[in-house]
Amino acid sequence: MKITLAQLNYHTGNFATNNKIIIDAINLAKLEGSELIVFSELAVCGYPPRDFLEFKDFILQCESSIVQIAKHCEGIAAIVGSPSVNPKIEGKDLYNSAYFLADGEIKKVVHKTLLPNYDVFDEYRYFEPNREFAVIEYKDLKIALTICEDLWNLNENPMYINCPMDELIKQNPNCIINIAASPFSKVQIETRQQVLQNNAIKYKLPLFYVNHIGAQTQLIFDGGSCVLNANGEIINELKYFEEEIKNFDLSIENNKLKILNCNEIFLTETKLPDKYKDLESALELGIKEYFRKQGFSKAILGLSGGIDSALVLYLAAKALGPENVKAVMLPSQFSSKHSIDDSLALAKNLHVAHEIISIEETFNALQLSLKKQFEGLPFDIAEENMQSRTRAVILMAMANKFGYILLNTSNKSELAVGYGTLYGDMCGGLSVIGDLYKTEVFELCEYINSNEEIIPKNILTKEPSAELRPNQKDSDSLPDYDLLDKILFHYIEERKGPQEIIAFGFDETIVKRILKMVNSNEWKRLQAPPVLRVSSKSFGFGRRLPIVAKYLN
C-alpha cells in the first residue's frame, strides 16, 4: 500500500485555487499508485479563516468544495481538513473537521477534540469540541485520525481534561494520522518534533503528520510534515518553507504497519533547528506570501543607514527580487555622512534601485509654519516627530503614485517601549522585523554576513541612532539593548511580573521603568502594521492587553 503526504500552500478564502491544488495533488497521487493522500487542517478554506466562519456563504463554499474534491477520489482515498456544520441544536454551529473521502463520496467526518484558545489561536470562538471517537478502517489500515492540537496534551501539566488518543487507542489502530496548521516560531520546530515523538512512543504506533506551508498575514507556516516509526524516530521529513508531495510505501501484517521506503536511521534526514537560517527563511516567506496573496509586487522603504532598515531591505530583495524593491534615503540636517554612504553601499550590494530625497527643506517649512505657535519653546520630541512624519508622507506619496507597498522597519524592542513615531516611522503595510528584538537584529545580520559582507560592516558596528537631533543616540532614551531585551523577553514572552524579573538580579528601578514604558505604549502598538510572527509571543492578535489599564503604570 502507498500513502501520500501533501504539504501545500493554501490561501484563506480562495476556494478555486485551494480546490485546484488539492485535486491536482489527488490526480498526481493516483498516477503514482497511491491509495491514500493526506492534506492538512482546514485545507479547503485556509488557516486561520477567523470570522469568515461566521458567514453562511463561506461555509456553503467549504461544503461545495468537499463535494467537488470527493468526486476525484475514485481509486484513491483522501483526508482533507474543512469546517463542518454541527447538526445538533446545542453547542457551536461548526466543527473543525477532517473529511475521509473515498469512492467519490464523503465516507466519514472526524472532528477536532482539543480546541486551542491561547496566543494566536481562537478556535473555541467558532468550533464545538468533538466528544465521539472512532478509528477509520480503510483496506488494511486502521487510522487514529487526529487534528493538530489533539496530540498536544501529553505533558506534565495538561491543558485539557482529556486526550483523544487515549480513546482511539482502545480500538486497536495501526497508525496515527495528524493533520495540522502549526505556525512557525523560533522554538516551534523542536517543540513540535518532541510532541510527535512522545505520541508515537506512548502509543507504540507509526505517525504520519501533515502541516501547512506558506503564510497568512502574520502567521508563517514552515511545513516540516514528517513520518515517525513506532519507536518515535523521525524517519523522513518533507521540506521546510517549501511545498512538497511525498509518497511512502507501507506493508501491513497482523495489524502491524511498517514503512518500507524510509531511512530508518533517526535524524539522518530530520531537520535540526538552525535559528538564524530559519528566521531568514521564515521572514522571506512571510514577505513573499503577503505580497503574492494580496496581489502586490513592489515594495518601498526608507533606508536610514541603520541596521533595522538594512535588514528589511535585504529580506525584501531576497523575497521579492531586487528589481521589485525601491530604497529611499531621506536625510535631514542631522543625518551623518556615513549614514548616506552606508546606505548607498548596501543598495549597491543588493542591486536595489535607490533615491536620495532631502527632507531638510520640507522640515524647515513645517517649522516656519509653526513658528508662532512654538515661539520660545525648546527643540524637543515635537520637532523630532515632524521629521519622521515628513519621511512617512514622502514614502507614502511614492507608494501611492507608483504602486508600492511601504515596508515598516521597526524592531520589537522599539515597538515594546514606544520608541517610534506614530504616523512616522511606524507607518507601513507590513512590519517585517517587529518580532525581532534589537539584539536579534544584530545577530541575524551577522549571520547574513557570515560568508561575505553584504550589509556594510559600519552599519553593524556603529551605535544606533535615530538622527533626529545633533549627536543623538538610542542610549540617551533607552537602557543598553542587551539589558533591555532580556527584561522585555521575561515580561513579553514569559509573562513574568516585575518582582519575578527583579528576582533574576535586575535592578528594580530599571525593571519598573521598562515595564511602565511597555504598558504605556499599548495604544501605539494597536495602530502599528501587522507583524510577521516568529516568536512564541508577538505583538498583534496573539497578545491582547487593555490600553487603559493601570497595571505597573
The string of pLDDT tens digits covering residues 357-398 is: 999 999 999 999 999 999 999 999 999 999 999 999 999 999
33-55 pLDDT tens trace = 999 999 999 999 999 999 999 99
CA distance 106 to 32: 23
Residues 6+ positions from 354 with CB-CB distance below 8 Å: 303, 326, 327, 328, 329, 343, 344, 347
CA distance 475 to 455: 23
Asked if 72 and 34 touch (Cβ cutoff 8 Å), the reply is no
| Residue 62 appears among annotated catalytic residues | no
User: Domain 2-273 carries which CATH code?
Assistant: 3.60.110.10
- Enter the DSSP assignment of 512: H
The burial of 338, by beta-carbon neighbours within 10 Å (0-12 exposed, 13-18 middle, 19 or more buried), is given as: middle
The burial of 291, by beta-carbon neighbours within 10 Å (0-12 exposed, 13-18 middle, 19 or more buried), is given as: buried
143-192 pLDDT tens trace = 999 999 999 998 777 889 889 999 999 999 999 999 999 999 999 999 99
The burial of 90, by beta-carbon neighbours within 10 Å (0-12 exposed, 13-18 middle, 19 or more buried), is given as: exposed
Please state the domain extents for the chain: 2-273, 284-466
CA dihedral in degrees (469, 471, 472, 473; nearest 10)? Answer: 170
Catalytic residue among 45, 148, 226, 427: 148
- Distance from first CA to last CA of the chain, Å, rounded? 63
Three-state secondary structure string covering 217-243: CCEEEEECCEEECCCCCEEEECCECCC
Catalytic residue among 112, 142, 186, 537: 112
* Alpha helices, DSSP H, located in 295-411: 307-320, 337-350, 360-369, 371-374, 381-402
Question: Phi and psi (nearest 5°) for 237?
Answer: -130, 150
Superfamily (CATH) of domain 284-466:
HUPs (3.40.50.620)
Q: Name the average pLDDT for the chain.
A: 93
Catalytic residue among 41, 149, 384, 414: 41
pLDDT at residue 265 is higher than 80:
no
pTM: 0.94
pLDDT at position 17 is 97
Name the percent of the chain lying above pLDDT 90.
85
CA distance 128 to 365: 60
CA distance 276 to 274: 6
| Residue 105 appears among annotated catalytic residues | no
* Alpha helices, DSSP H, located in 156-261: 164-168, 188-203
Residues 6+ positions from 473 with CB-CB distance below 8 Å: 463, 464, 465
Asked if 518 and 488 touch (Cβ cutoff 8 Å), the reply is yes
| Residue 226 appears among annotated catalytic residues | no
* Mean pLDDT, range 76-84, rounded to an integer: 98
